Chains A and B, each alone.
Chain A
Amino acid sequence: MRQTLRRQRWWLARIIALPFQLIVFAAVSFLLVHNIPGDPVAVLTGGQADAANRAAIEKQLGLDGSLPTQLMRYLGHTLTFDLGHSYITGRSVASEFGDRLPATIELTLMGVFLSAVLALGLSYLAVTRPRNPVSYLVRGYARIAGGLPDFAVGVAAVFVFYATLHWAPAPLGRLSSDVDDVPKVTGLPFLDTILTGRFDASWSMAGHLALPVATLVISQAGVLVKMLIGGLEEAVDAAPTRFRIASGASPAMVRLSLVRRALPPAVTTCGTLFGYALGGAVIVEAIFGFAGIGSYLSDSVSSGDIPAMQGFLVIVAAVSLLVFLLVDLANMSLDPRRRPGARTD
């Protein structure tokens, strides 16, 4: 038992550390937002509150007591997934995000996952078949990596495929107007259509998702392709690849070995890309009329809705910490030398 525990420490330790990292981040974000100039009570009452009213409102908003008291109260609530209530709408911030975030995450994940799969396939082709015409195209694409902003690609996609060619449906949400709404199961819209067996909705949604996801992939896969081409090119001529081939491992094993050694930097990039894709998804949602966290965010910033902003920071931090935990775990599985305590000489 103890032996097993010690061997699994490399990932257990990271998972146990996760909530603590989140609490530290929540505290920092609380202090940051707290120091934003402005008086929420004055905003809410239009500067008309007398002392008694003021105290009541402060108590209601959780702004009474000293700073440490407020901080501890905030952290306590955060630990129980209570992110407070919006100053403006009075609705629970946690449930607002619960309603909107899954859709955005689904879009982001589709973009990142497809980018990763396509990038791996294309860069493998570009490296192993350098004289194939497709390889020239892939290398050309990699060269302009990062030079294709998502908002430009998105607008161009709508212009070409909806306005001009009429291939794509109108950019007005995830479902065509003649398709009934799908009951909520997980909150991930596309997954829900499958779980509820509403394949008509799946089909409609796939059509509506094609351009937005393509926009994310086109604007983001280039960086990955570039990175993977570099990694694979180095790995093809590396001694371990040659030794695998020469000693007589099967071609499938040689490919696996090659990719496993070339992958870690690209996995790290995928993690960074997830952050960009989340930002990109907010923009893409605006272009294609999708429901998601995009509009909620811009509203809360312009109205000075502190609980909503704070909630956003904590949630984004949680998502990022989770993504980078997954990135680290993936890399430590791919390359055991990255595990803490691995002896390398």
Chain B
Amino acid sequence: MTARNVIDEAGPRTTAVSDPVEGDAPILAVEDLTVRYGTRSGEVTAVDAVSFALGHGERVALVGESGSGKSTLGLALAGFLTQDNVHVECSRLDFAGAALDRDTRSRLPRRTPGLSMIFQDAMTTLDPVWPIGSQLRAVIRAAGRADGGGRPSRADVRERARYWLDRVGLRDTERVLRARPYELSGGMRQRAMIAIALCGGPKLLIADEPTSALDASLAREAMETMLTLTGQSSTSVLVISHDILLAQEYTDRTFVMYGGRIVEQRTSARLVDTATHPYTVALLRCVPTLASAELDELPTLASVNAEITGVDEPTEVTGTPEPAAKESA
């Protein structure tokens, strides 16, 4: 299944029109990407020969438990694994139609033009010592120069900074421009981060747990803001998340990662029907629903696995609500 097909299946998105020339080639193609960490007790393989492709304007969720390698994969794609003890190898890494050639001598990563990234907690991600406006303008100026239009004028840059704050729904523009991250509320920070990540006009946005630091309603707002804006510019999005429901709801395809491998690549809307890997099946059955409110005990990965394999293992507690179990006893 190619990326194009997925976009078609997801239904016509009026704004997500791919560039006719680049349209057929994926925006990102990865083959056999492996990441190994050297530790005191030997090498640990965090990402194990992962291959996939992302289409133009496509939205993909990368889900998996903690330690499955999903965040490492995101960092490797963005070129942030420059530590001495980390080894990144791949047989192919194409972005926007060209192989990525990265300077491996420098410890300070260089940007991959067109690839932007946002992180879990806007409080720790935004530069704490500069006002939001300065951080926005820095990106807008650099993007203006990269476009070949020369150095954009001050007034122009200011205007665009206001425009971007407005686009992410921050109305109190003047105050936000002057504010430093710690002077804003959590929701505002998240929006400001999205504005900074997108104002440079990226072709691909990697969002590493973009909503985990937010409460449920703020998480949905942030997700919708992010996806509306990337939709309008047909920017591809790779959302790394442990929230399989949120991921399913907002993306075209879902990749499930387990033990450093991508074990499932499915259309999000049909993930429940088409999932074959036992881990995915188990994961989906663990999602609490209204129906499971009737149960004495919520299903866990361990209990579901035991059920599937028919082996009556002692239930490992992984986020099980213990009190519920006691009440039923």
Q: Is the CB of A245 within 8 A of B111?
A: yes
Query: By the criterion CB–CB under 8 Å, are A246 and B106 in contact?
Result: no
Residues of A within 8 A of B106 (CB): 128-129
A39, CB-defined interface residue at 8 Å? no
CB of B286 within 8 Å of the partner chain: no
Contact call A239/B125, Cβ cutoff below 8 A: yes
In the bound assembly, the distance between CA atoms of A92 and B117 in angstroms comes to 67
Complex CA–CA separation, A158 to B105 (angstroms): 39
Q: Which residues of the partner chain A approach B196 to less than 8 Å between Cβ atoms?
A: 243, 247
Assess the A248–B139 pair: CB atoms within 8 A.
yes
Q: CA–CA, A251 to B110, complex, Å?
A: 8
Q: Please, how many angstroms separate the alpha-carbon atoms of A242 and B82 in the complex? A: 12
B107 contacts A246, C-beta separation under 8 Å:
no
Chain A residues whose CB sits within 8 angstroms of the CB of B135 once the complex forms? 244, 247, 249
Task: List B residues at the A interface (Cβ < 8 Å).
Answer: 78, 80, 82-84, 105-111, 113, 115-119, 121, 124-130, 135, 138-139, 141-143, 145-146, 180, 182-183, 193, 196-197, 199-200, 202, 206
Docked Cα-Cα span, A251 to B142, in Å, equals 9
CA–CA, A246 and B183, complex, Å? 23
A249 and B108 alpha carbons, distance in the complex (Å) = 14
18 further A-B contacts with Cβ under 8 Å, apart from A248-B146, A257-B129, A345-B182, are A129-B105, A132-B105, A236-B107, A240-B128, A242-B78, A242-B125, A243-B119, A243-B193, A244-B127, A244-B135, A246-B115, A246-B197, A247-B197, A250-B141, A257-B127, A334-B129, A337-B180, A342-B182
Contact, CB under 8 Å: B111 / A248: yes
Residue of chain A at shortest CB distance from B196: A247
The CA-CA distance from A130 to B110 in the complex, in Å, is 15
* Residue from A237, A248, A261 within 8 A of B128 (CB atoms): A261
Q: Is A64 in the interface zone, CB < 8 Å from B? A: no
CB-defined A-B contacts under 8 Å, sample of 21: A128-B108, A129-B105, A236-B82, A237-B83, A239-B121, A239-B124, A240-B126, A240-B127, A242-B125, A243-B117, A243-B197, A244-B138, A245-B80, A246-B117, A246-B118, A246-B197, A248-B116, A249-B142, A260-B129, A261-B128, A335-B128
Q: Tell me, rounded to whole Å, the shortest Cβ–Cβ distance linking A158 to chain B.
A: 39
Query: Is B107 touching A130 in the complex (CB atoms < 8 A)?
Result: yes
Interface flag for A66 (CB, 8 Å): no
Q: Give a binary string over A288-324; 1 marks a CB under 8 Å from any B CB, 0 the rest.
A: 0000000000000000000000000000000000000
Known contacts A245-B110, A258-B108; A250 and B119 CB within 8 A of each other: no
- Give the nearest-CB partner of B136 in chain A: A247
What B residues does A244 contact at CB under 8 A?
127, 135, 138
**Complex contacts, A254 vs chain B, CB 8 Å:** 108
Determine the chain B residues whose CB is within 8 A of the CB of A248 once the complex forms.
Answer: 111, 113, 116, 139, 142-143, 146, 200, 202
Top 7 closest pairs, chain A to chain B, by CB:
A248-B200, A246-B117, A249-B138, A250-B142, A240-B127, A239-B125, A128-B108
Contact of A216 with B by CB under 8 A: no
Closest-by-CB residue of B relative to A255 is B108
Is the beta-carbon distance between A246 and B116 smaller than 8 angstroms?
yes
Cα-based distance from A130 to B143 in the complex (angstroms): 30
Minimum distance in angstroms from A180 CB to a CB of chain B:
50
What per-residue 1/0 map shows which CB atoms of A185-201 lie under 8 Å from chain B? 00000000000000000
Bound-state Cα–Cα, A253 to B105, Å: 20
Provide the bound-state CA to CA distance between A37 and B97, in Å.
Answer: 85
Contact A247 B116, beta carbon cutoff 8 Å: yes
Q: 0/1 per residue, A30-72, Cβ < 8 Å to B? A: 0000000000000000000000000000000000000000000
The answer to whether B107 and A253 have CB atoms under 8 Å apart is: no
Given the known A-B contacts A242-B117, A337-B129, are A247 and B83 also in contact in the complex, defined by CB atoms under 8 Å?
no
Alpha-carbon distance A344/B183, docked complex (angstroms): 7
CA distance A247 to B119 in the complex (A): 11
**Bound Cα distance from A237 to B124, whole angstroms:** 12
Select the residue from A244, A260, A343 with max chain B CB neighbours within 10 A.
A244
Residues of chain B lying within 8 A (CB to CB) of residue A246 = 78, 80, 111, 115-118, 197, 206
With beta carbons under 8 angstroms apart, the residue of B107, B130, B145 that contacts A128 is B107
Query: Which residue of A has the minimal Cβ distance to B180?
Result: A336
Task: Chain A residues near B145: list those with CB within 8 A.
Answer: 250
Contact of A249 among B107, B113, B139 (CB under 8 A): B139
Contacting pair B115 A240 (CB below 8 A)? no
- Asked whether, in the complex, the Cβ of B107 is within 8 Å of the Cβ of A129, the reply is yes
Chain B residues with CB under 8 Å of A342's CB are: 182
> Among A243, A250, A255, A344, which residue has its beta carbon within 8 angstroms of that of B127?
A243
- Compute how far the CA of A128 lies from the CA of B103 in the bound complex, rounded to whole angstroms: 12
| Chain A contacts with B in 99-146, Cβ cutoff 8 A | 127-132
Could you tell me the distance between the alpha carbons of A158 and B129 in the complex, rounded to whole angstroms?
45
Residues in A whose Cβ lies below 8 Å from that of B119 = 239, 242-243
Find the A residue at minimum CB distance from B113. Answer: A248
For residue A127, which residues in chain B have a CB less than 8 angstroms away from its CB? 107-108
Could you tell me if B129 and A261 are in contact, using CB atoms closer than 8 angstroms? yes
Tell which of A131, A239, A242, A336 touches B109, judged by Cβ atoms closer than 8 Å: A242
CA distance A305 to B257 in the complex (A): 79
* A243 and B118 form a contact (CB under 8 A): yes
**Residues on A with beta carbons closer than 8 Å to the beta carbon of B139:** 247-249
Distance A334 CA – B129 CA, assembled complex (angstroms) = 7
**Complex formed: what's the CA distance from A161 to B139 in Å?**
51
Smallest CB separation, B10 vs chain A (Å): 26
Provide the residues of chain B in CB contact with A245, threshold 8 Å: 80, 109-111
Contact at B127–A337, with CB atoms within 8 Å?
A: no
A131: nearest chain-B partner, CB-CB? B105
The CA of A262 and the CA of B291, in the complex, are separated in Å by: 52
| Contact indicator B126/A344 (Cβ below 8 Å) | no
A241–B78 CA distance with the chains assembled, in angstroms: 13
Contacts of A130 in B (CB 8 A): 84, 107
Shortest Cβ distance from residue B139 to the other chain A in the assembled complex, whole angstroms: 5
Residue of A nearest to B111 (CB): A245
Partner of A337, one of B111, B113, B128, B143: B128
Q: Which residue of B lies closest to A250 (CB)?
A: B142
